Amino acid sequence: MTALLSILVLVFIFVAIWQMVKIFDLTQTGKSDVNNQIANDNDNKVNGYLMIGFLIFIYVITIVCLIKYGDLPLLSNSASEHGPSVDRLMIISLLVIFFVQTITQFLLHYFAFKYRGQKGRKALFFADNNKLEAIWTIIPVIVLAGLIIQGLFTWTSIMNVDEESDPMVVELYAQQFNWKARYAGQDNALGKANVRLIDLDKANILGVDESDPNAKDDVIVTELHLPVGKPVLFKMRSQDVLHSAYMPHFRAQMNCVPGMITQFSFTPTKTTEEMRELPEIKDKVANINKIRTKNSQELIAKGEEALEPYEFDFLLLCNKICGTSHYNMQMKIVVETQEEFDAWMKEQKVFENSLNL
């Protein structure tokens, strides 16, 4: 695939240079026969058939890609309560785009072929056509309005946090290039925090206000654990630059902006173990480990360590280019039963016991 892409890039570069040379020749009055540059019937015929050929190429490559790469796991294995609504909106948008693209590309290339230039043929055109203009204005308006309205309803249902469901409050703290999570503790209320209160000597790495009673039972961790079926309200902060908390399998993303608190809420519906048992996830893991095994053999031959086997985990990623190590800014998410979560939480230190006094 890399070799094919390299060849295509070289071909496009050659064509671009060739076109630039032709343009340069046309600008040199008296140095070239301009009449030779005027397209004749044969030139138009060749270009017309090339347009049909390119149309066939577009359809063939589309069909091949759908057959070979048409499995879209991120449209079928959401692990949050609102995930299916997001997937449904995405699928509808893709179908509309695919339908419109198929029709418009056919018309574009077919018309270029059918109405190619021929000697003695006079172009027929309409200065205006109110009926056509109304059709191609009203139809897109209706379709786009439907997509936007459905999107707004979906977004509103996601962002309207139901306080009566008593969501667990968790802070996601972003900094170049790692994540920290802070649980609100037994009182389910986060203590106040400010980056100006960061004190590394006392291990107050998030700038939590030590005098705030709500902060005493907060729990700071580097691995995010969530109980399945429990609504979670995330409060997000950034220490330095703009980050974006992205949890793809939960269909969740929200910017983390320095100087302000943003929020996002969802309810996990599948545990990590349940996701690992899904057929598509098993296939993905097997494929990745097949590639890793092959690469490991090459590394071992060079005297280097082999790659570790891949195991599926939910991840919190940064989806904003935030610096040199942006690609590696991630945190593992473990979704488990309430009992497992409670047992894990009991092993964690609360904030007041984690300080170096």
pLDDT in tens, 169-204: 999 999 999 999 999 988 888 999 988 998 888 888
Question: pLDDT band for position 29 (50/70/90)?
Answer: low
Rg (CA), the chain: 29
β-pair partners for 119: none
The C-alpha atoms of residue 275 and residue 123 are separated, in whole angstroms, by 61
CA distance 249 to 78: 5
Q: Which pLDDT value is given to residue 160? A: 84
pLDDT for the residue numbered 320: 92
pLDDT (mean) for 98-106? 90
pTM of the model: 0.78
As a whole number of angstroms, the distance between CA 76 and CA 36 comes to: 57
Cα–Cα dist 285/278, whole Å? 11
Nearest to 267 by CA among 78, 89, 88: 78
Rounded Cα–Cα distance for residues 357 and 354 (Å): 9
Q: Which two tokens stand for residue 353?
A: 């016991």
pLDDT tens per residue across span 221-263: 999 999 999 999 999 999 999 999 999 999 999 999 999 999 9
List pLDDT tens digits, range 33-55.
555 667 777 888 888 889 999 99
Which pLDDT score, from 0 to 100, does residue 332 have? 95
User: Please, which pLDDT band fits residue 148 given cuts at 50, 70 and 90?
Assistant: very high
CA distance 142 to 147: 9
Whether 68 and 137 have beta carbons less than 8 Å apart is answered as no
DSSP-based three-state secondary structure for 264: strand
What pLDDT score does 73 carry? Answer: 60
Neighbours of 311 (CB within 10 A): 10
**Distance between terminal CA atoms of the chain?**
58
Q: How many CA atoms lie within 13 A of 300 on its CB side?
A: 9
Q: Which amino acid is at 243?
A: H
Q: Which of 270, 315, 313 is nearest to 288 (CA)?
A: 313
What pLDDT is recorded for position 161?
80
* pLDDT value for 37: 62
